[in-house]
Copies of this chain bind each other. A is one copy, B any other.
Amino acid sequence: MLRVMPTQVAKLARTDAGLSSALRISVMRLARRLRNERDARDDLSANHLAVLGTLSRHDTMTIGELAAAEKVQPPSMTRTVTSLCDKGLVRRTTHDSDRRVVVVSLTESAHAVIAESRRRKEAWLNHRLRELTPAERQTLRDAAPILERLSQA
């Protein structure tokens, strides 16, 4: 049985050489867990939810901008936006000065869906965090901004 157990992750992390491996394993596993915790009750696909999330961070975006942000090709984004439009979660309008451009924005009901989805995702994690010691929570508080910076690098 070659499975990497929690204690092995701690051991790995002790050296600079092992830190990268330990961090990758633990971050990927926790992310997978958080993702599954969400998927269980959401009726929107991961893809659709990602587009709503991106839109909520940018307010309005064009099809091209959305495609670039989600790293898909424009035809795929056309399809996704059409589907979200049918569900009443986004609005499509023509750009004021350039009529080739389609401007996409969230509807009120989308804001509610996003908030609810986020609330559910955090409920599970919140519960787990309350089971940690104050010192462990402090470590995570210190670590969060560093992890964030790594992701932006």
A23 B144 Cβ-Cβ under 8 A:
yes
Q: What are the 3 tightest A-B residue pairs by CB atom distance, in nearest-first order?
A: A31-B31, A143-B143, A29-B151
- A residues with a Cβ closer than 8 A to B are 1-4, 6-7, 9-10, 12-14, 16, 19-36, 56-59, 71, 121-122, 125-126, 128-129, 131-132, 136-137, 139-153
Is the beta-carbon distance between A59 and B2 smaller than 8 angstroms? yes
Question: Are the C-beta atoms of B19 and A129 separated by less than 8 Å?
Answer: yes
Determine if B58 and A3 form an interchain contact, defined as CB atoms under 8 angstroms apart: yes
Could you say which residues of chain B place their CB within 8 Å of the CB of A3? 57-58
Task: Give the secondary structure class of A's interface.
Answer: helix
B2 touching A151 by the CB < 8 A rule? no
**A2 CB to nearest chain B CB (Å):** 5
Q: Are A146 and B151 in contact (CB under 8 A)?
A: no
Q: What separation, in Å, do the CA atoms of A51 and B151 have in the docked complex?
A: 26
B140 touches A143 (CB 8 A): yes
Residue of B nearest to A123 (CB): B20
Residues A9 and B148 in contact in the complex (CB < 8 Å), given A27-B31, A58-B3, A126-B20: yes
Complex partner residue of A19 from B10, B140, B152, CB under 8 angstroms: B140
